[in-house]
Copies of this chain bind each other. A is one copy, B any other.
């Protein structure tokens, strides 16, 4: 593991003091001392941007009101930013990331990386051409136990994979929000031109798709999908249901809805192999179910003795003491910092553990295929 010798200087875009995801990114960046948030775009109004900066511990002068100004101003400082973390509205992701890459910065991007697959592909091309690091913050894939699941599958513990099932249900859109007075954040979400191809996919669905692909080690090759809204009269997409074909013809099933009244934020993943199955549920994020045919079911815990070193290092507290999503996010921030230091030190680009812009491209390809299949009455459609 490359050492993190000093905190990297980070700017945040869209992480005002009232944003929970903003707080998540800022805390995660600081948790292990790998990053220092020193600048950011917090509001389009200069005054507000400055006061928001101070509220989150950034100098007022480095609280910018737009990305271009920030990139220019920071480029002129000897202690200027080295990377940008993006968590502004979905329709701004692409432009912001492209500008940051072009400015020679690395990117921590919240999902979705863009609003179309073409844009995502463009970001991937720039990232590669410019030798940048692009980390997409799929936090659920960075829990010690989802990482361990991936390892167990890769090691063949459950045999060849035969079926991949993922489900993410949430109550975020369970009420007819669009019929009432909306907050600014709700307004852009319910404007399909800003929130992207499928609201539910931008919001939570890409997390589920990434988790399934990441843990199974497989890509989605074709879909037969049902895309729409459970809520009557809704014009944005709150639900995506799909049958899948993954690499090598492996079957899969995909269930995502934000219109689950009474749901919490429930993610379930199951990978069926020829010899057994692995199950993980977000409700019990620190545990992993491993059921091998003919053996008693096993529950592997985050703090179990004998976990591989690269899984054990993802934990900061001992066996039986709960960790949260914050620590999973911090794992991504730490890994991104390590990759950047290594790259800066001249090391050749190694395989990374965190999701990259290539994962972002696959997500956008997937949702475009789902929509195409739905339009074609459920017909199997290539991703």
Contacts and interface: CB of A to CB of B under 8 A. Distances in A.
A118 interface: no
Interface stretch (A70-78, A91-99, A302-310): A302-310
Given A163-B239, A251-B230, A324-B322, A272 B260 contact: yes
Given A251-B241, A298-B296, A379-B377, A318 B30 contact: no
A257 interface: yes
B265 A294 contact: no
A269 to B, nearest CB: 14
Contacts of A274: 231, 261
A212 interface: no
A222 to B, nearest CB: 9
B293 A261 contact: yes
Contacts of A265: 303, 318-321
A323 interface: yes
Interface string A21-40: 00110010011010000000
Interface string A199-227: 00000000000000000000000001110
B239 A241 contact: no
Interface residues of A, number: 82
A6 B294 CA distance: 36
B304 A296 contact: yes
Q: Which of A230, A264, A290 lies at the interface centre, i.e. has the most chain B CB atoms within 10 A of its CB? A: A264
A321 B316 contact: no
Nearest to A265: B320
A140 to B, nearest CB: 10
A21 to B, nearest CB: 9
A42 interface: no
Contacts of A27: 31, 316
A305 B298 contact: no
A46 interface: no
A304 B316 CA distance: 27
A292 B174 CA distance: 11
Nearest to A27: B31
Nearest to A298: B296
Nearest to A316: B23
Contacts of A282: 320, 322
A322 B327 CA distance: 10
A131 interface: no
A274 B262 CA distance: 9
Contacts of A262: 158, 272, 275-277, 290-293, 297
A205 to B, nearest CB: 15
A241 B291 CA distance: 22
Given A224-B224, A323-B326, A296 B290 contact: yes
Given A251-B239, A257-B163, A305-B294, A324 B317 contact: yes
B264 A303 contact: yes
21 contacts: A20-B317, A24-B316, A24-B317, A30-B30, A158-B262, A163-B260, A169-B272, A224-B226, A230-B251, A259-B272, A260-B277, A261-B276, A262-B275, A263-B277, A290-B296, A295-B305, A321-B325, A323-B324, A326-B327, A377-B379, A378-B378
Ordered nearest first, which 9 A-B pairs have the shortest CB separation? A265-B320, A262-B291, A224-B378, A262-B276, A264-B320, A262-B277, A261-B293, A323-B324, A324-B324
Given A158-B262, A224-B226, A290-B296, 19 more contacts: A20-B317, A27-B316, A33-B57, A158-B261, A162-B231, A162-B259, A163-B260, A169-B272, A224-B243, A230-B272, A239-B251, A260-B272, A261-B292, A262-B272, A262-B290, A263-B272, A263-B277, A282-B322, A296-B304
